[in-house]
Structure 1
Amino acid sequence: MKKLNSLAAVLTAGAILLSALPGSAKADEEQDRRKASLFGGSASRSGTLASLSENSSEIVVKTKISASQLTKKFGVKLLATPEVLKEQGIFAVKVPKSKNFKSVLSDMKNSSSITSAEENMKGEGKGFGYTLPNDPYLNNQWHLSKIGMPVLWKNYSLKNKVKVAVVDSGVDATQPDLSGQLLKGYDFYSKDSNPNDTLGHGTAVAGVIAAKANNGVGVAGVNPLAQIIPIRVSASKSINSVDALAGLSYAIKSGAKVINLSYGFPAPNSIEFDIIYEAYRKGIVVVAASGNDGKSVNYPAGYPTVISVGSTGKNDAVSKFSSYGGALDLVAPGENIATTMMNKRYGIGSGTSFSAPIVTGVASLVLSAAPNLNPIEVEYLLEKGAAKLSSSKNGWSTKAGFGRVDAARTFQTDFPSIKNDSGNVRSKARKVTLNKAYSDRYDYSGDSDWYSLKVTKNMKVRVDVSGVTNIDSDVWMDQYANGKSVSPVQYDRAKISGKESFTRTLKPGTYYFEVYDANNHWSQQNYSFKVTALDTTAPKTPIVYKVKSRDLIIKGKAEKNSSLLLKKGSSVLAKGTASSTGTFSVKLKTRQAKGTVLYLTAADKSGNKSKATKIVVQP
């Protein structure tokens, strides 16, 4: 057996990237920025009341007050809530029929006593269906050869076991290929410590990841070294927010290094975002299915700190059912995947529910080889090592992400050089000067570049970040005082590949700018960052020569090349432009009567306007 070569060789380089993962001291600030990018506006508020499902009556709320105070203040009834959520101040409540659900939810979202409030949505488990042939599928696992597993089996010797949480419908512990592969789990659906599967979905997902290999029975998992932590959150083709949140929290506390989420909700949830970000902060890789409705990527797959996975068939064509969009990261085989089933049986499953665990399996293989890698590094290796299905500059597309996962290529992938990268934390921000362009890249998954600008006088500036193919550039701008972000503002006006540009009026002080991709994507294409000083001095008041009632031309002098606007009351009579020497001639359409009062203003190219010159028409 060969020892690890390329992946092992980058372990020392990995230490360079480790600082990219937010440490506890700055994680809250970074979390707020990414949250604002996703939800918009204040990072502590989210959601839209217009998207509520019919017959909504339950809310998941993260509160700063006690449960009794919560129910009294908003007139809601406390529902049974897992202890793992209560510890975080998260509760499920029911709005009485006598109250208006939208009004209560709105009151909670706008209350200073509430951190987050979201509808307790029901997520669809589309793709749970599968056929159950009578014969085993050991020789039908086309996905294993497709992602290069035979190369790993032949050339690499891995020994480190990796804990993988499967938040799903539970796992059938009697399945022979999963015997000895399961650790202690929990059932949040039945509220006991026996996460036994009654649906079959979780058992199938677990088998794709960790079914025993070379035991002469059934099928082989992508990573037989994975130890599955079964967490049951559903017993049907739907799942509610509270159980999903509890399952995620339990996975984090259980010591999982990878979490697989083969379910989806139609909209983001700020509480779910926070819990997943906590996993990311603690170095846990989170992988989720993109969805099976052939539309936009579902959540939690849509969060930037989650590796979202779509589906492909045997010929690498993206599956028609595979959900796609700007948040998609990778694709993996998801059609006719042979795996473990309940009752000691085997069968096949189709859907992104089975694509995600293939990526989870490869991610856990990477961590088996290099346990100290963080989520940023693991994601980059998976994406950079993927088989490209797009000819774009960074190999990404909305349909296929960075391509189809390839385990063999992942193990031969190196990290990018970040020798000249701008600092990825505020304290290491690159100092910039006005009117000078700086070049950098979105070097790796989750890369962010910080810049600082010292301003010595009141001025107006324009900030420009050039567009990069397939990158959704975001710019965060603020000041920093007493350990806190001051007057933050976030810009994400352009679409993917577009340029970000905005103007701001600044007072003396130091300003910080963070540039990052909204979806944690990367590119080898450079972007430019530039802060341009704009003229804030208003033009001098125009000088107008005497105007008589018979005149059709008004002449005078104004700032060179300035734009002129002639008005009578609120009506615009004429426009003109001063010459390069400052002279102007503004033409009137009709003569003006004696005593008529007109006003003429000049504006420079920066938009600064002069005081108006009062003109009284002479006889």
Structure 2
Amino acid sequence: MKTILLALMLSLSFVTYASNLASNTHIENDVIIGTPKSKPKTYNDYHSLTLEQLPKQQVKEPYSIYPSSRSDYVPNDTYYNEQVHWLAPTTQYLSYNNILPSVQRLSPMRRPVVGIIDSGFYAHPDLIYADGYDMVTLGDAQRGENYLMRESDDEEHFCNVHGTGVAAVAVATRDNNLGFAGIADGDFLATRSMDCGFGYLSDSSDALLWQIGKPVEDIRPATVTADVVNMSLGGTVDHCPDFMQNAITEAVNSGVPVIAAIGNNEMDASEFTPANCNGVINVAAASREGELFSSSNFGTLIDIAALGDFVASATEDPDGVGWWEESSFSAPIVTGVLANAVSEFGLLSNAEIKFFLAVTATPFAAGQCDDSNRCGPGIMDANAFHSSLREYKNGDLVTLKPALSNTEFCDKDLYATDDNELAMLCETYELVMPVHQSNRSDIRFEVMVFVKDDTMQYANGQVVATSTSSRMLMSALDMSSNDYGVRMCNTERCFGDTAIKINSSSTALPAKCNQ
């Protein structure tokens, strides 16, 4: 069948190049994907070095006990002050992602493994590779161990360092007095799936399987497996090919979030893959001022936005800094934050991730994104996300508790002598939701009922309660036969496609209800 040709950033030169490769397709309905061809806006002069001449990396021994969180912690990395996504949003710059306080309060149980599937990895002194593999089969390429390719279109310059830049945002070595502060202090698993920014989508799907520990024919297993995977790549095709969807489903079923860049073609993301695959967490680019970035794809597939403008990261100069843009560099900001969350809380479902990203998001600037069908719920606030997720995991949010156990909500003594009122209150539960950050007045939470142990996709449930408040009183619940979930909605839409399960483990009645 005819090969579908696509790229993350279309150009005449790419289309011509890709069309010459059509006859080399090695899998039915395979597609050519890419990463943006552009380099960062500013970077230091580069003088060509051989791989052997690059600074040697120091192997960082894994440690089992993390230092306690510190409110005064600030990374000491050289270019940390250029990494404005670590800052809290301001009235002028709404898209800063508030990373620092989330890291200061982090209490991880282990080092996360961050997987990056991309092009243009090299031995940058601020990146420590736990393992890697070259999956490229484009043209005459052969898969193998040499994933640290000096991808070059001439003898003096890299044609692509995209993967190195993406990786440094998420997982550059922190506190080593050089380079960048990676959001996640973890191990880095790299898979090269493109050459000079172009490759077969099937190579990326194989790369994903390899990163999550699934077998890939004739390829050795990875020495570590990813906890989160970033895919800042893709191209224009109106459906998710089966082989890509199968790999993503394997990842999701294994508890590994797959974070995808939404793309930069100014088009509906439903026409862009892997963003149009089920199960991915799609990240759009936002300008510093809090608008959807001018080239960003749009639509209801957007799960969250992050800074995609002046994102400081690694370039082809091992000692330099560049300012990257577009959704390729928004995605690893979210990837790093999710890696930190996994390191503290363990496995997270896609529904949990999408719900808390949406409910804690910073609103877009007024204007083009007033319609959430275009831009999604807002811009990631890492600290609000992580704090709300911690409350949820501690049983303080999205948890049913007997109303009579909360003296702030009702005066227990008022009903102590009235049997009828006491009986009614003993069937009433309080549900506390996160306080959303949206500036919209039409945000509501909907509680849905599902058959016990069934999946909580919206189509399988029925709405039983709605509230615009972060606190709800509910009664007549049948928790022996049913599960209950919640979603966040506004007038235009409900976010995500699966409800987050309400915790009912704290529903034991107070002693006076058993009298």
Say whether the 8 Å CA contact 2:120–2:197 is kept in structure 1: no
Matches within 5 A, 1:443-592: 469-471=491-493, 520=497
- Match of 1:317? 291
The answer to whether the aligner puts 1:226 opposite 2:178 as a matched pair is no
User: 1:374 deviation in Å?
Assistant: 2.8
- Match of 1:200? 161
- In the alignment, the residues of structure 2 paired with residue 277 and residue 142 of structure 1 have an alpha-carbon distance, to the nearest angstrom, of 34
The alignment of Structure 1 onto Structure 2 pairs a total of residues equal to 344
Q: State the Cα deviation string for residues 495-537 of structure 1 (Å, max 9, x = none).
A: xxxxxxxxxxxxxxxxxxxxxx8x52669xxxxxxxxxxxxxx
**1:438/1:205 Cα in 2 relative to 1: closer, same or farther (>3 Å)?**
closer
The answer to whether the aligner puts 1:125 opposite 2:35 as a matched pair is yes
Unaligned runs of 5+ in 1: 1-47, 60-76, 81-91, 94-117, 430-436, 444-466, 473-516, 524-619
Say whether the 8 Å CA contact 1:318–1:399 is kept in structure 2: no
Query: What amino acid sits opposite 1:292 in the alignment?
Result: N
Higher mean C-alpha deviation, range 142-151 or range 410-419:
410-419
- Match of 1:140? 82
- In the alignment, the residues of structure 1 paired with residue 379 and residue 176 of structure 2 have an alpha-carbon distance, to the nearest angstrom, of 28
- In the alignment, the residues of structure 2 paired with residue 238 and residue 425 of structure 1 have an alpha-carbon distance, to the nearest angstrom, of 46
**1:425/1:167 Cα in 2 relative to 1: closer, same or farther (>3 Å)?**
farther
- Match of 1:362? 337
Say whether the 8 Å CA contact 2:5–2:33 is kept in structure 1: no
User: 1:312 deviation in Å?
Assistant: 1.1
Matches within 5 A, 1:431-446: 439=464
- Match of 2:115? 165
Say whether the 8 Å CA contact 2:126–2:172 is kept in structure 1: yes
- Match of 2:302? 328
- In the alignment, the residues of structure 2 paired with residue 122 and residue 357 of structure 1 have an alpha-carbon distance, to the nearest angstrom, of 22
Say whether the 8 Å CA contact 1:336–1:348 is kept in structure 2: yes
- Match of 1:447? none
Matches within 5 A, 1:343-422: 343-345=317-319, 346-389=321-364, 397-413=372-388, 414=392, 415-417=397-399, 421-422=448-449
Calculate the TM-score normalised by the size of structure 2. 0.59
User: 1:257 deviation in Å?
Assistant: 1.2
Say whether the 8 Å CA contact 1:289–1:308 is kept in structure 2: yes
- In the alignment, the residues of structure 2 paired with residue 50 and residue 153 of structure 1 have an alpha-carbon distance, to the nearest angstrom, of 45
Q: State the Cα deviation string for residues 39-62 of structure 1 (Å, max 9, x = none).
A: xxxxxxxxx989778997999xxx
Query: What amino acid sits opposite 1:265 in the alignment?
Result: G
Structure 2 residue corresponding to 1:337, chosen from 294, 302, 311: 311
- In the alignment, the residues of structure 1 paired with residue 332 and residue 467 of structure 2 have an alpha-carbon distance, to the nearest angstrom, of 27
**1:344/1:412 Cα in 2 relative to 1: closer, same or farther (>3 Å)?**
same
- In the alignment, the residues of structure 1 paired with residue 384 and residue 297 of structure 2 have an alpha-carbon distance, to the nearest angstrom, of 25
Higher mean C-alpha deviation, range 402-411 or range 245-254:
245-254
User: 1:325 deviation in Å?
Assistant: 0.6
SS in 2 for 1:423: strand
- In the alignment, the residues of structure 2 paired with residue 192 and residue 364 of structure 1 have an alpha-carbon distance, to the nearest angstrom, of 27
Structure 2 residue corresponding to 1:149, chosen from 81, 99, 111: 99
**1:134/1:305 Cα in 2 relative to 1: closer, same or farther (>3 Å)?**
same
Say whether the 8 Å CA contact 1:52–1:119 is kept in structure 2: no
Say whether the 8 Å CA contact 1:170–1:231 is kept in structure 2: no
Say whether the 8 Å CA contact 1:137–1:347 is kept in structure 2: no
Query: What amino acid sits opposite 2:310 in the alignment?
Result: N
Higher mean C-alpha deviation, range 49-58 or range 239-248:
49-58
Unaligned runs of 5+ in 2: 7-14, 46-77, 88-95, 137-141, 152-159, 214-221, 401-430, 432-446, 457-461, 469-488, 501-515
Say whether the 8 Å CA contact 1:127–1:352 is kept in structure 2: no
User: 1:231 deviation in Å?
Assistant: 0.1
- Match of 1:305? 279
User: 1:196 deviation in Å?
Assistant: 0.7
Higher mean C-alpha deviation, range 201-210 or range 405-414:
405-414
**1:168/1:388 Cα in 2 relative to 1: closer, same or farther (>3 Å)?**
same
Structure 2 residue corresponding to 1:247, chosen from 207, 215, 229: 207
Alpha carbon RMSD of aligned pairs, Å?
Answer: 3.7
Query: What amino acid sits opposite 2:134 in the alignment?
Result: D
SS in 2 for 1:183: strand
- In the alignment, the residues of structure 2 paired with residue 201 and residue 301 of structure 1 have an alpha-carbon distance, to the nearest angstrom, of 19
**1:157/1:391 Cα in 2 relative to 1: closer, same or farther (>3 Å)?**
same
SS in 1 for 2:248: helix
SS in 1 for 2:33: strand
Q: State the Cα deviation string for residues 248-272 of structure 1 (Å, max 9, x = none).
A: 1111214211010000121221221
Query: What amino acid sits opposite 1:329 in the alignment?
Result: D
Query: What amino acid sits opposite 2:199 in the alignment?
Result: I
Say whether the 8 Å CA contact 1:127–1:292 is kept in structure 2: no
- Match of 1:275? 247
- Match of 1:211? 172
- In the alignment, the residues of structure 1 paired with residue 125 and residue 360 of structure 2 have an alpha-carbon distance, to the nearest angstrom, of 33
SS in 2 for 1:357: helix
- In the alignment, the residues of structure 1 paired with residue 3 and residue 195 of structure 2 have an alpha-carbon distance, to the nearest angstrom, of 29
Say whether the 8 Å CA contact 1:168–1:262 is kept in structure 2: yes
Higher mean C-alpha deviation, range 366-375 or range 323-332:
366-375
Calculate the TM-score normalised by the size of structure 1. 0.50
Q: State the Cα deviation string for residues 451-499 of structure 1 (Å, max 9, x = none).
A: xxxxxxxxxxxxxxxx973337xxxxxxxxxxxxxxxxxxxxxxxxxxx
SS in 2 for 1:311: strand
**1:201/1:441 Cα in 2 relative to 1: closer, same or farther (>3 Å)?**
farther
User: 1:408 deviation in Å?
Assistant: 0.7
- In the alignment, the residues of structure 2 paired with residue 276 and residue 51 of structure 1 have an alpha-carbon distance, to the nearest angstrom, of 20
Query: What amino acid sits opposite 1:150 in the alignment?
Result: L
**1:376/1:250 Cα in 2 relative to 1: closer, same or farther (>3 Å)?**
same
SS in 2 for 1:341: coil
User: 1:375 deviation in Å?
Assistant: 3.0
Q: State the Cα deviation string for residues 146-192 of structure 1 (Å, max 9, x = none).
A: 2112213433343521111100015222x1211xx321111012411
User: 1:359 deviation in Å?
Assistant: 0.3
- Match of 2:134? 187
- In the alignment, the residues of structure 2 paired with residue 124 and residue 248 of structure 1 have an alpha-carbon distance, to the nearest angstrom, of 16
